[in-house]
Structure 1
């Protein structure tokens, strides 16, 4: 039993076995999310591999801009992929300055997917989680600023732990993009998710970064629903 468990973990870690691969087949619309970790991306090659959309990391906190964002955004727009940008939320910065960083970096363009705020623990934050009221206030501020600028609802990417602590019961105006790389996700309050990151161990062609794996996600809806999803109001 122990050997079998070790083999399971090893095969998952090496990207040989993707636990959610079968469950993800229930959803016809699939996409990736990328950052500087994937290095230089050949977007035409990536787009040919059963991929319909891409979320591209743009910013983090109040000042950081992903070094590959500008080129990724431009090159991805030259493919059939629908694209959107995501921001890694800092628990230590104000919602106003984080929104400003995103807005000055990410263009408002017809057909783009809604802006995403990535809310997850980092560093020692899981052991020492910041106060919910403080984080909710700053996150609500950022959500409002992005909604006003882009005229789209905001997507919140999150883990189950961060969802339960900071999002559950609030942010009804936002769609949820949930990470669960081992099982099909079910939120504790039965809220419906819109995107599901089902693996962080896929291997595709078209990138040369230090990270050999790439995150893959599905959309909770049909191809026709995805065509209309998140269009600017």
Structure 2
């Protein structure tokens, strides 16, 4: 509204002075608004990561056309006909751990997975608390040797107190080397070595050149400390596919560095 042209000048000046003296509403600092926006964006991204909707390695990993899963009893009862239709080519199934443990779902998973078109293999979780020869006997007693299966995997990663206090390299090698030798002699192919970054660098880097590497790297593209090429890449631990119903709602996803024909060249003779 414009001031009255007939109002005396001194009255208008007093009114303007009083108006200027009144407190003005404070503007929200831009930095606060920006910080709130960043915090909200981070919460959204965290939620997407937690649910597996967004995964930082997915775009890079899906450039590799041959994909697969690994499963254990945590995925519960698996409908392998359904899971095999989830655009995957292979599956590794947990079989054993240490010198005496067998996964309670292994026998069912092993039999039913072989009734699909998937390439199938078994994996063993390495323990440093029992001799490698005893662990090899556990694997051989549990996992049948079938022509056309994927090679047996030895999973080399921390567990229990060894996550905080890793064992000496000599201790790990004393167990691992006779285990790898026995597996290769029995199954006719070198075992695949699965490893997290930490345990790869501690115990595998620069060694075991005949054993294909399955490398876990779920935040970034894989890069091995000794510049060796990986063969398999576990790129996600929080995928959700159809076909299983267990305590664990997520499933691991893996890429093979090559085409289907190259994967088939690794199969047991």
Length-normalised TM-score, structure 1:
0.96
The 1:6/1:93 distance shift into structure 2, 3 A limit, reads farther
The equivalent position to 1:182 in structure 2, one of 219, 225, 229, is 219
State the superposition RMSD in angstroms: 1.1
Select 1:45's aligned residue among 74, 79, 82: 82
Unaligned runs of 5+ in 2: 1-37
Aligned match for 1:85, one of 95, 99, 122? 122
Structure having the higher helix fraction is 2
Matches of residues 73-222 of structure 1 in structure 2 within 5 Å? 73-222=110-259
**2:98 matched to 1:61?**
yes
Aligned partners of 2:147 and 2:267 also within 8 Å: no
Aligned to 2:16: none
Aligned pair partner of 2:109 in 63, 68, 72? 72
Q: Which position in structure 1 is the counterpart of 2:14?
A: none
Please report how far the alpha carbon of residue 231 of structure 1 lies from its aligned counterpart in structure 2 after TM superposition. Answer: 3.3
- Give, in angstroms, the shift of residue 230 of structure 1: 3.0
Distance 2:112 2:181 in 1: 29
Q: In structure 1, list runs of 5 or more residues that go unmatched.
A: none
If asked which structure has higher relative contact order (CA below 8 Å, sep 6+), I would say 1
Aligned 8 A contact 1:117 1:156 in 2: yes
Q: Does the CA contact (< 8 Å) of 2:71 and 2:252 recur in 1?
A: yes
Match of 1:19 in 2: 56
Contact kept in structure 2, 1:34 and 1:214, CA below 8 Å: yes
Structure showing greater radius of gyration is: 2
> How many residues are paired up?
232
TM-score (norm 2): 0.84
Partner secondary structure for residue 125 of structure 1: helix
Q: Which deviates further from its counterpart, 119-128 or 159-168?
A: 119-128
2:269 corresponds to 1:229: no
